[in-house]
Structure formats: structure tokens, C-alpha cells
Amino acid sequence: MSIGFKEWTLICDALGSGAQSIILRKGGIAEGRAGFRFQHDEFLLFPTLFHEQVSKLKLPAETPLPAPAPEGEISIQYRARVEWTEDLKDLSMIQRLAPFHLWRDEVIEERFRYDETLGVSLAFIRVEKLETPFNFPNAPRYGGCRSWVTLPDPSEPLKTTFALSEAEHRLREQQIRALLAND
């Protein structure tokens, strides 16, 4: 079986277009007492569609949401590979990462303060766009407030292209690491 990582549709698109290379996550209600962790080194980006996401992102209010997949279907367009992770416990450090993601400052702060353990988990990822979307039937097991879901295996190998060139990807990594080291 393949692993899916649930993320807002517009964030998936930002990752897939190369506009963003990090994921900042606190975790969902279903993560349990242990909290969220990047448990998998490779996963498919599972887009979640809810109407409030535009207002929670640094996008114009009139930004349209992408059209949903046909009724009863999930459509995956991107694969991600985690290159490194870091737990961030300093809100000011996280705020310095603002140029590298689309979330509004108040959304990041809400995630940071979500529970008694202050902080968020960061993953620096390499994203690949699938040449052909991976479509499969929706099912109740994909619902709920959880980050990770088990997906069916694709019937054919996934052909992909990188969202960013190697040089662009490494430059972005260098910029992000420099911000994180500057505490």
C-alpha cells in the first residue's frame, strides 16, 4: 500500500509548482498523545478541499479553489520525499520562514500554540509532479483529522518530473538552513 499525507489542496499545488518546499505541521486530532511526526520518508500528497483555506493563506481573497475530483474519487498529482526534518520551538524563528510558505502568520501561530507543547514540525521536501494523476475511489477511511492515510497502490509505476531543478532546490535548502541556523 502507498502512504498519503493529507494537506490543503492549495498547499499541495504550491508544493507541486515549486513555490514551496516545506511543510509545517502540528498534527490533527487523530494523531494521539504522541503528537505528529513525519513518519514516512516518501508519500503522495493527498489534497484536502475545504473552503476556508483561501482565507488562511497569503493569497488574494478571490483565489478560486481548484475543481474537486469527480464525485466519489480522489486525484493525487504529487509525490514528496522528505530530505530532512526539524522540530521548531521558537516562534520568531518560524516567523522568519514566512517567505518560504503560503500560510498566514496567524495560522502558523495557531499551529505553534495548538496544545501545551509549543512548536511545529518542519519537513524540507523534494516534490515531484505525476505525469498522470493517480485516481482512486474515495472511502470513509480517508476522512477525519489525521495526517497519514494508507492508499491503494497505483496499478502502474508513477512517472514524475521534479517541481524544481536540482540547483533551485539546493539554493532554497541553503536559504532555509541559513534562517534556521541564525538563532
What was the pLDDT predicted at 49?
81
pLDDT (tens digit per residue) in 61-117: 888 888 777 788 999 999 999 999 999 999 999 999 999 999 999 999 998 998 888
What was the pLDDT predicted at 35?
59
Q: Which of 7-11, 56-60, 115-119 has the lowest mean pLDDT?
A: 115-119
Residues in the chain: 183
Query: Could you tell me the sign of the dihedral formed by the alpha carbons of 85, 170, 2, 141, in that order?
Result: positive
As a whole number of angstroms, the distance between CA 22 and CA 10 comes to 14
User: Is the pTM higher than 0.85?
Assistant: yes
Q: What is the CATH number of the domain that holds 120?
A: 2.30.130.30
Residue with grid cell 509549543, as numbered in its chain:
118
What was the pLDDT predicted at 99?
95
pLDDT (tens digit per residue) in 126-139: 999 999 999 999 99
Rounded to the nearest integer, the mean pLDDT of the chain is 89
Report how many domains make up the chain.
1
40 is in which domain, residue-wise?
2-181
Residue with grid cell 504529487, as numbered in its chain:
78
